[in-house]
Amino acid sequence: MSLLDTLTSPAQIRNLNPAELEELAADIRRELVDTVAVTGGHLASNLGVVELTLALHRVFDTPRDRIVWDVGHQAYTHKLLTGRRERFCSLRQADGLSGFPKREESEFDCFDVGHASTSISAALGLACARDAMGGDEKVVAVIGDGSLTGGLAFEGLNQAGHLKKDLIVVLNDNEMSISPNVGAISSFLSRKMTSDLFVRFKKETQNLLTHLPGFGRELVNLARRAEDSLKGFLTPGMLFEAFGFDYVGPIDGHNLTELEETLTNVSRLKGPSLVHVVTRKGKGYAPAEANPSLFHGVGPFDAASGEVHKPPGAPPSYTSIFGRTLVEMAEADSRLIAITAAMIEGTGLQDFAKRLPERFYDVGIAEQHAVTFAAGLACHGQRPVVAIYSTFLQRAYDNVLHDVCLQNLPVIFAMDRGGLVGADGPTHHGVFDYSYLRHIPNLTFMVPRDEVQLCRALATGLAHGGPFAFRYPRGESQGLKLPEEISPAPIGQGEKLREGKDGVFFALGTMVGEALEAAEELTKEGIEMAVVDACFLKPLDRTLLLAEAQRTGFVVTCEENVLQGGFGSAVLELFEETAVEARVLRVGLPDVFVDQGTQKELRARHDIDAPGITRRVRAALGRPRQSAAG
Ligand SMILES: Cc1ncc(C[n+]2csc(CCOP(=O)(O)OP(=O)(O)O)c2C)c(N)n1
Ligand SMILES: CC(=O)[C@@H](O)[C@H](O)COP(=O)(O)O
Ligand SMILES: [Mg+2]
């Protein structure tokens, strides 16, 4: 029985001695590797904060004192220490432990997270509420250097410094976002005061001074003292001191004694303070230390070798097909620019960044900036493609509306992770974009049903002169052969894929395949359903949809989006506007946040897979399931 096995509360670790703590840290790292090797998940970030998490729960009286994690992907140790060890093997699975802090899961989780850069704002809110209620608990935000590239973090720093509230921010600086961190803040944080220029300047000054007759020696000592204060002035502290924070650091984030001493001292300070902690992403597991990007979010792997499992013969992902096609198009069109918000690998842009570095931008975790930056580029003859997860584009809704669509600028939004993403759960499902984009004037929104149509979507966006969005799912494509020539699709034109007299499926994207399967199944029961791939959420193919609705009188819309304001709503609006009489059954996601699980499980759970659609149509037509014998 390891020490970790006995833990049910952080109180138990507060009187462990250094040797026991070292053993516990080793136990935790073993548990992280062994579990994530099976479940998949965020490993490198978690390995990097084992000592920090131990120190936080030893110094602060959690859950009375509160810890707000930024993104929260690095909170596995926090969960192991707060009574969730037994459930840890259910990590990121249906009905299992979430991969992120969740208030409903534990009193030790004081704020739900998943999207970056929120921790300081949330922690400040908790601190102000504490003061309003006469409390004296400590509030700590733990934010990574990558998440600090999000503007929201600075909005929080700005107000916290002004309000002078008792608040502790722990900056976990491992010089990594998912890939190496970017931007001026990152280089400022890792400012090397021993940079070549500084060393050369120092040497030459020293030579000069020592050769001065008489007081040269004294001047050398004076210069040395000046150098120390210059360093003090130029270290990252200056940035945070300017915001009104007491800055402490940088300190070694793997030295438990130093961490605890520093956090204890800082906990006694009044007003806002920031502790700059330097850690190594992937610490303690060689494959993750060697490749922290790969082990940031990793699928199941062999713990002994670090070899990530790849199902043999799996078709390429939609993401990789997008990335490859974008490079091909960019090589033929020098106006094309690729922009990512800290998700180079996730959006498949590694190749683009390597082959066309002068036309590639990683703006950090700054989605709002990414969109308005793209608008600026488009204003001046460039053709920017913002490659972004659907869920993260939610951050930039007003930038899409106000800076791109209102000016009718040719910006392409390549939205990856469209639809249910699976294990990341409700904070990451891309199931709202139909609803949050469809109502914006000037925007064209295409939804490819497979990888061939995905390539066409990119070509269509490039040929189109205005704001253009398309979305595609997380995971493997359908293994189709891609055409040599990729021609743009006619905007707003749908495609009838199957005949049927009893009704018609109007489907978008991945739901086209489900609708075809359901139609096949229903045929066996004498129900003949036509299938239309609407191809575009906006503009709709009014001619085709109206004709099919009038021909059959029964329309089933199918979408992997919330029903509220989605594709089915668009069809209802069309029928209302044109006074078409047809019965409409909308198949899509209900007005809830869909939990975690595999994509397949979640589609089945919410009846948006072929069996679920079949059941819904059968019920709507009042046809009990007939056995194959009839
Ligand atoms: C708004 C938003 N954009 C992008 C992401 C994807 N994302 C998750 S973690 C991460 C990198 C975070 O880096 P850092 O804060 O330094 O944490 P580390 O993994 O290095 O511990 C990114 C880009 C996100 N969760 N939220
Ligand atoms: C924590 C976070 O937001 C990212 O790491 C996200 O989990 C990546 O998602 P994918 O695994 O779909 O790339
Ligand atoms: Mg980092």
Tens of pLDDT along 478-492?
A: 999 999 999 999 999
pLDDT tens for residues 60-105? 999 999 999 999 999 999 999 999 999 999 999 999 999 999 999 9
Q: Minimal CA–CA distance to 238: which of 272, 189, 285?
A: 189
Query: What was the pLDDT predicted at 102?
Result: 98
**Is any atom of ligand 1 closer than 6 Å to the C-beta of 347?**
no
The β-bridge partners of 586 are: 557
Confidence band of 630 (pLDDT split at 50, 70, 90): very low
Distances (CA, A) of 514 to 568, 603, 610: 16, 10, 5
What mean pLDDT is reported for the chain? Answer: 94
* E strand map for 42-166: 66-69, 139-144
When comparing pLDDT for 209 and 314, which is higher?
314
Mean pLDDT of 253-261: 98
Reply yes or no on whether the pLDDT at 193 is more than 50.
Answer: no
| Main-chain dihedrals φ then ψ at residue 78, nearest 5 degrees | -55, -40
Q: Minimal CA–CA distance to 430: which of 562, 323, 340, 285?
A: 562
The pTM assigned to this predicted structure is 0.94
> Are the CB atoms for 411 and 462 separated by under 8 Å?
no
Query: d(Cα 588, Cα 448) in Å, to the nearest integer?
Result: 17
Burial pattern 231-253, b for ≥16 Cβ within 10 A else e, equals eeeebbbebbeebbbbbbbbbeb
Among 155-164, 182-191, 415-424, 582-591, where is mean pLDDT lowest? 182-191
Distances (CA, A) of 164 to 232, 245, 459, 619: 23, 8, 52, 61
Reply yes or no on whether the pLDDT at 195 is more than 90.
Answer: no
* E strand map for 534-602: 536-538, 554-562, 583-589
Residue identifier of the C-alpha nearest atom 8 of ligand 2: 297
Which residue's entry shows tokens 């096609």?
A: 325
By DSSP bridging, strand 529-533 and strand 495-498 are: antiparallel
Rounded percentage of the chain residues whose pLDDT exceeds 90: 88
Residue 297 CA, ligand 2 centroid: distance in Å? 6
Reply yes or no on whether the pLDDT at 396 is more than 50.
Answer: yes
- Residues tagged in the binding site annotation for thiamine diphosphate: 73, 114-116, 146-147, 174, 285, 367
Ligand 1 atom showing the smallest separation from residue 148 Cα: 15
DSSP single-letter state for residue 444: E
Residue identifier of the C-alpha nearest atom 4 of ligand 2: 297
**Is any atom of ligand 1 closer than 6 Å to the C-beta of 176?**
yes
Burial pattern 414-428, b for ≥16 Cβ within 10 A else e, equals bbbbbbbbbbbbbbb
* Interhelix angle 18-39/50-59, nearest 10 degrees: 130
| Main-chain dihedrals φ then ψ at residue 284, nearest 5 degrees | 90, -5
When comparing pLDDT for 199 and 246, which is higher?
246
pLDDT tens for residues 16-70? 999 999 999 999 999 999 999 999 999 999 999 999 999 999 999 999 999 999 9
> Are the CB atoms for 519 and 498 separated by under 8 Å?
yes
Reply yes or no on whether the pLDDT at 351 is more than 80.
Answer: yes
Query: What was the pLDDT predicted at 233?
Result: 57
> Are the CB atoms for 244 and 167 separated by under 8 Å?
no
Ligand 1 atom showing the smallest separation from residue 115 Cα: 26
pLDDT tens for residues 149-178? 999 999 999 999 999 999 999 999 999 999
